[in-house]
């Protein structure tokens, strides 16, 4: 394992997030990334915030223009 960065892709509740370079431990043989607790906690907080905002969008009435 070597300290580096790795992409992280999340598909959730109708939206897609892509982080291009999240700090991670990366396997030098296969390239699989392992994220530490700090990075996971930050991403989980972001997902929770986005979930709330997407819920607000769903609750907005459609207005014809």
Reported as a single tens digit per residue, the pLDDT across 4-48 is 999 999 998 888 999 999 999 999 999 999 999 999 999 999 999
Q: Does domain 2-59 have CATH number 3.10.20.860?
A: yes
| pLDDT computed for residue 57 by the predictor | 74
Contacts 24+ apart (CB under 8 A), 23-30: 25/1, 26/1, 26/2, 27/1, 28/1, 28/2
With contact defined as beta carbons under 8 Å apart, do 36 and 25 qualify?
A: yes
Q: Which residues does residue 33 pair with via DSSP β-bridges, in sequence order?
A: 26
| pLDDT computed for residue 44 by the predictor | 95
With contact defined as beta carbons under 8 Å apart, do 6 and 34 qualify?
A: no
| pLDDT computed for residue 17 by the predictor | 92
| pLDDT computed for residue 20 by the predictor | 96
């Amino acid at each position: 394992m070597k300290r580096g960065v790795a992409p992280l892709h999340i598909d959730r509740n109708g939206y897609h997030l892509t982080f291009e370079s999240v700090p991670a431990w990366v396997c030098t043989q296969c390239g699989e990334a392992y994220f530490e607790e700090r990075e996971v906690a930050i991403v989980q907080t972001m997902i929770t915030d986005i979930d709330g905002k997407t819920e607000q969008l769903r609750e907005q009435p459609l207005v014809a223009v």
